Amino acid sequence: MAFTRYQRMLKALEDQLSLLEVEKDILIHSERGIKLTCQALKTIRKEVLAHNFESQEEEIHFFKEIKPQLYSKVIYYVKLFHIESRRPRGSNPSQITYLNHQIDGLQLFFEENLEFYHYYRRNSCALDRQYFTRGNADLKLHLDNFHSFIDESFSTSHDSIVATIIAHDMLIAYLKSEINKLENQNGSERGAPSSFANIFWTANKVDLIELIYALNDNGAINHGRVSIRELTSLFEQLFHIDLGNFYHVFTEIRARKNGRSKFLDALKIALLRRMDEADK
């Protein structure tokens, strides 16, 4: 199926982007991200124009689910570069003020597109035919979406709005993480007990972040009266791992359309299998 091919292309891109995490210079990181995502967008565009869609349902699914996942990454890296290139290099308070101002600007987009924002957040589909099929460009839309008039063969009136919502979610998560780092920069870090020196997390980092959020939201630790940052720091020390921008990762977990709790589901299957084997 065509969508399987597109998903494989997206997965390949995500694998390439994950390798950028080792780059500590955020501007170089962003530039490389822009290059990779723009190239991937061009490649998928060629695929779409070459094969088209077998049904209107496929077209809607592509422009509502698949293209925004890719295009959001283009928007994310472009805006990240502009934000970080203008970030003041002065005191922590001045940086925090700047970053909070950027968050306010990003959230303004949600307010300007509030009706559609609620439509998308509720996973509504009543107007999908109007929003996510080509040839339905709306002259009343925000100027940022005029690309749909320029490239009608690969754009709908609202796919870029979905992409921008996703990108802004990721940017806000990143900026909040940076603010937290600045606010806690002078905090002391305690090492993990020496008896745990040989204990390491061997699953994916994304899996651990999924688990941390689940434990927090379930109130399993301190009855839920502990922050995600504190829990993350605890697990980082315990397993000798750097979870990086975990807010950003959780945003990507939320954006999953299938299997949003993949690791937790896998844990349940593994536990039940062990119980079944023990009962034999």
DSSP state of 125: -
* Predicted confidence (pLDDT) per residue in 229-269, tens digit: 878 888 887 887 888 888 888 888 888 877 889 999 999 99
Please say whether the beta carbons of 144 and 160 come within 8 A.
Answer: yes
User: Each residue of 137-180: pLDDT tens digit?
Assistant: 665 554 455 454 467 889 998 999 999 999 998 898 888 888 88
Q: Which residue has the higher pLDDT, 145 or 122?
A: 122
Q: Write down the domain spans for the chain.
A: 2-183, 194-279
pLDDT reading at 3 higher than 70: no
Residue 216 pLDDT > 90: no
Q: Name which residue leads in pLDDT, 181 or 129.
A: 129
* Model confidence band, residue 16 (pLDDT cutoffs 50, 70, 90): confident
Own/partner long-range contacts of 213-218 (Cβ < 8 Å, ≥24 apart):
213/250, 213/253, 214/261, 214/264
pLDDT of residue 256: 81
Question: Can you give the pTM of this predicted structure?
Answer: 0.68
In this predicted structure, the answer to whether residue 33 has a pLDDT above a threshold of 90 is yes
Chain centroid, CA 151 distance in Å: 26
